[in-house]
Amino acid sequence: MAHLTLKLLLAILPIVGGKKGLIELFHLTAAAFGQEVPDLRGRSRREILLAFARFTRNEAERSLAAGTAATLRINLYDRSADLGRAIRRRLPIRSRADAAAAIQRLYGLLDIDMKIKSVGAVTIERCFFTTRYTPETCRFMAAMDEGIVAGICGGRLVFSERLSEGAGACRALIEWPDGENE
């Protein structure tokens, strides 16, 4: 029954959480960078997503150039892990399948087509950010991905290939907290 409840909740997330959730993510990210969120009033979800991509690319590049990347990546990770834990508290996540479904739905809101197998294999064949991020920016911003996954399932996300670096897909592995990747 819990799995059915999770599926129903995830089915309504794009309606309830799409634009609002993206704005909340923007605020979390801006705070991690120590910046204000630009004015988003009257913008569509797509326009907000574009603004988020520009903002994060610019802030990541500024951090990399200033030599503050390590500290900011930790801040992004920590805040994203808090977000992941908050999502976990709101959803009836009781299994790897539930965690994978929640992560996939969340990334769907960001126009990222993510597939996760129960063994933890992650494949992303289409990502909104691929043409908007340099490989360096993509690696930098992966701190958010790592934090969200850690918060939702307690696992560790490790990328091995990235679209932004010319691979045919992003490939990663979630190292589940029980240490067993069946």
More reliable by pLDDT, 176 or 14: 176
| Alpha carbons 169 and 171: distance in angstroms, whole number | 6
pLDDT value of residue 115: 95
pLDDT at 130 over 50: yes
For residues 94-107, average pLDDT: 89
- What is the pLDDT, as a whole number, of residue 118? 77
Domain 2-175 top-level CATH class: alpha beta
pLDDT of residue 90: 86
In the chain, where the domains are located: 2-175
Mean pLDDT lowest for which of 24-28, 35-39, 90-94, 135-139?
Answer: 90-94
Is the pLDDT score of 15 beyond 60?
A: no
Does position 182 have pLDDT exceeding 90, yes or no?
no
Q: pLDDT of 144-181, one tens digit each? A: 999 999 999 999 999 999 999 999 999 999 998 875 54
Q: Is the pLDDT of residue 12 over 70?
A: no
Gyration radius of the chain's alpha carbons: 16
pLDDT score of 38: 94
Q: Is there a contact between 14 and 109 (Cβ–Cβ < 8 Å)?
A: yes
Range in 6-15, 122-131, 167-176 with the lowest mean pLDDT: 6-15
pLDDT value at position 19?
Answer: 85
pLDDT in tens, 24-68: 999 999 999 999 999 999 999 999 999 999 999 999 999 999 999
d(CA 5, CA 51): 33
pLDDT higher than threshold 90 for residue 93: no
Whether residue 14 has pLDDT greater than 50: no
Of 79, 92, 104, the C-alpha closest to 28 is 79
Residue 10 and residue 104: Cα distance in Å, rounded?
10
pLDDT band, residue 91 (cuts 50/70/90): confident
